[in-house]
Structures are given as structure tokens and as C-alpha cells.
Amino acid sequence: MNKSIESVDQFQMRAALFAKTDKIIQEHNQSGLHTYWLGHNLFSDLTQAEKDKYLVSNMNQLLQQQVSTQKFEPLDTNAVPEAINWVSKDGGNCMAPIKNQGTCGACWTFSATGTLESLQCISEGAAEGDLI
């Protein structure tokens, strides 16, 4: 997303939005309450309405679709470790960087593909993109 600033007022507005986002990020990362950290991206200086327009363009159509449900049967969690650091697991080679999905409305495909690529990397040592 290329950005251009049209005026001093717009620059000041964007700077204020960025500063507000930066404060949220700093407070989150310094709190020690989370197992993940936040960082800046192309949305850091956007209003909520701008973010919604960019990210939720097809959400109303998706919400109209019916969802099937089935009963969830939990697995035995006694053998599951309490925590796994996926970033450093296997030398960190199996964690793909965050991808920009744009406005395509197919965020589930990025999540599913990333999961499959990471699983393949962990089990077979394959690199990102070797899935196909």
C-alpha cells in the first residue's frame, strides 16, 4: 500500500494515529502479560473506518453464509507440553513471516497454508513454498 500525504493537516492526523498505535504496542509488549508481541505494519496510521474498509470488504457476504457445526471431542491433553515456542523450534526455519492478505477475503487460506507449510517443515524439513 503506497501512501502519500496531501497536506500538513493530514500528516499531523496520521502522526497522531501512529503515535496512538505505538502507545498500544509499547504497553502490550512491556506488560509481560502476553505470550506474543505486537509491531507496526501498514495499518499503524489508519483510522478504524479505513482499516475496516481494507480488511472487512467481504465480511457481510461471509456472515450471510450458513455454518455447519459438529460436536467437538477434546483430546487427552496430558501428553501435550504446556508451551511451545514455534519461532525458535527447529532453528526458527519453520515459521513463515506474516503475509499481507490484502482485501481478498480469503484470510483462512493464508492461515491454512501457513499451518501446512510449518507442519511439513517440522516433519520433513521442507522450506516455505515447497508445499506444492
Q: Are 105 and 60 in contact (CB under 8 A)?
A: no
Answer whether 0.75 is exceeded by the pTM. Answer: no
pLDDT at 13: 95
Per-residue pLDDT, averaged over 95-122, amounts to 77
pLDDT at 109: 81
Q: Indicate the average pLDDT of the chain.
A: 80
pLDDT digits (tens, 9 = 90+) for 58-107: 666 666 666 666 777 777 778 778 888 877 776 667 777 777 777 777 77
Query: Is pLDDT of 16 > 70?
Result: yes
pLDDT at 26: 97
Residue 70: C-alpha distances to residues 44, 62, 67, 77, 116 (Å): 38, 19, 10, 21, 23
Per-residue pLDDT, averaged over 24-33, amounts to 96
Q: CA angle at residue 67 from 63 to 68, to 5 degrees?
A: 175
Kindly state the cell numbers that stand for 121: 517443515
Most confident of 3-7, 14-18, 115-119: 14-18
